[in-house]
Amino acid sequence: MDGREALAMAAGGARRALAVKLGIPVAALFMAFLVLLGAFAGIGGGAASAAACGQPGQPADDGPSGNGSGGDETGGAGKALRQRQVQNAKIIDQVAKDGKLPGRATLIALMTALAESELDNIDHGDRDSLGLFQQQWSTGWGTKEQIMDPKYASHMFFFGGDSGDPPGLTDYPWENMSLNDAAQKVQRSGYPNAYGPKETQARSIAKEAGIDLDRPGDNHPGQPGKSGNKNPGGDSSGDKDQDPDDQSTNCNTNTGAGQPGKPGEPFHDGSAGWPAKVANRRSTADAIKWAKAEADSHRANWYQRCLAFTAIAYGWNAAGTNFAIDHYQDVMPKDMRHDGDRNPPPGALMFWDTGHRAGHVAIYVGDGKIASNDIEGRGEIAIVPATEIESKWGAKYLGWSPPYYPNAG
């Protein structure tokens, strides 16, 4: 399957070649401007605003070129291709629904097909790769005729072969993976990060096709006669079900309240206090009050600025860290990190791995809810159930910490 993403990019390369040639000098000047702008932002204490989360549905979207820019809803597709993409998306979603899979599985499949074939049922590809998912007939994915049937190809992507070889999405603990990594587990591509940048486009197509990506379902529905399915009963917990190649799926350990949580389960108020060295300019109660007032204002001041928002809520000008993921994993002392604990005390910082560089952080305001940017409106703060970061963005919950900003300014 190596090289299929190069094929997908080549499919749209010709129509963009002239624009690229003309745009190189302008792009160079623009990039120099951005570097200078970034330097001045750091001087002014604005470093914490650097892409610390993303817009609704695609946190910190890498964009079509994977360069950290906002995603493209069309991917350069013309009207005819877009129509075919919508029709193919409907087929993929119907296969997922018939197999009792949730809408998130459909999203992963759409992102995969967009990266592989532009979600077009093409009859060519790298080596003997064909169809929507560029499946190879020589490696057990089916005959040429079968692979060119979108319904069959979709079923193989989700469920794999009856013997478990080749494996499909449900042969892995995919619900604990990022969208990109779940796609890569099935495709085993030489371009392992090709899928995440397609999320914006996939969601746009799904919306046009009337597909509910928040639809509930089973992560591992039973497949009669299939011996290779790791989770025939739909239970992804326990060591026997963990993918040995994926060391990131154990997200339910070290729960401060002694109640292991699983993805999608609600959050509850804990009662832990802050260590003595946690000293902010604004109290916890005042920070929560300020965050709620900011939500009521509907000001669009916080696009991709989740870490900056939390720091400013606690009275600082900046967090002193560029990315939320770094603040949790590198800056926060280990004894302050409560990995996987779904019982944060009000005022705690909650962190997620979004599958992208920045990650996401929000303030827990109590009663299972958070104050988060970009979840309901671009740049706006909203008070929403904390579970929406998982259900809407497909992010992995990392844990919570006290509102500690040792590098704040």
Query: What are 112-124's pLDDT values in tens digits?
Result: 999 999 999 999 9
More reliable by pLDDT, 1 or 321: 321
pLDDT category at 226 given cuts 50, 70, 90 is low
Q: Which of 8-12, 138-142, 178-182, 291-295 has the least mean pLDDT?
A: 8-12
Q: Give the pLDDT of residue 21.
A: 34
Q: Judge whether residue 328 has pLDDT over 90.
A: yes
Say whether pLDDT at 105 is over 70.
Answer: yes
Could you report the per-residue pLDDT of 352-366, keeping only the tens digit for each?
998 777 889 999 999
When pLDDT is averaged across residues 304-313 and rounded to a whole number, the result is 93
- Looking at per-residue pLDDT, the higher value among 173 and 225 belongs to 173
Distance CA 98, CA 115 (A): 24
Cα gap 4→363, rounded to integer Å: 41
Q: Is the predicted pLDDT of residue 15 greater than 50, yes or no?
A: no
Torsion of CA 395, 307, 200, 292, to 10 degrees: 90
The winner for highest mean pLDDT among 106-110, 167-171, 215-219 is 106-110
Task: Convert the pLDDT of each residue in 35-88 to its tens digit.
Answer: 343 333 332 332 222 233 333 333 333 333 333 334 567 777 889 999 999 999
Query: CA 119 to CA 135: how far, in whole Å?
Result: 13
Is the pLDDT at 205 greater than 50? The verdict is: yes
Q: Which position has the higher pLDDT, 223 or 330?
A: 330
State residue 297's pLDDT score: 92
Ordered strands of the 349-353 beta sheet: 338-339, 396-401, 349-353, 360-366, 369-373, 381-385
Residues in the chain: 409
Q: What does the mean pLDDT of the chain come to? A: 76
What is the mean predicted confidence (pLDDT) over 329-346?
Answer: 91
**Which one has a higher pLDDT value, 394 or 49?**
394
Kindly tell me if the per-residue pLDDT of 344 is higher than 50.
Answer: yes
pLDDT 10s digits, 242-296: 332 333 333 333 333 334 355 667 888 888 789 999 999 999 999 999 999 999 9
Task: Pick the most confident of 28-37, 48-57, 205-214.
Answer: 205-214
d(Cα 247, Cα 21) in Å, to the nearest integer?
42
pLDDT confidence band for 223 (50 / 70 / 90): low
Q: What is the pLDDT of residue 32?
A: 46
Pairing of strands 369-373, 381-385: antiparallel
User: Quick one: what percent of the chain has pLDDT higher than 70?
Assistant: 72
**Cα separation of 338 and 343, whole Å?**
9
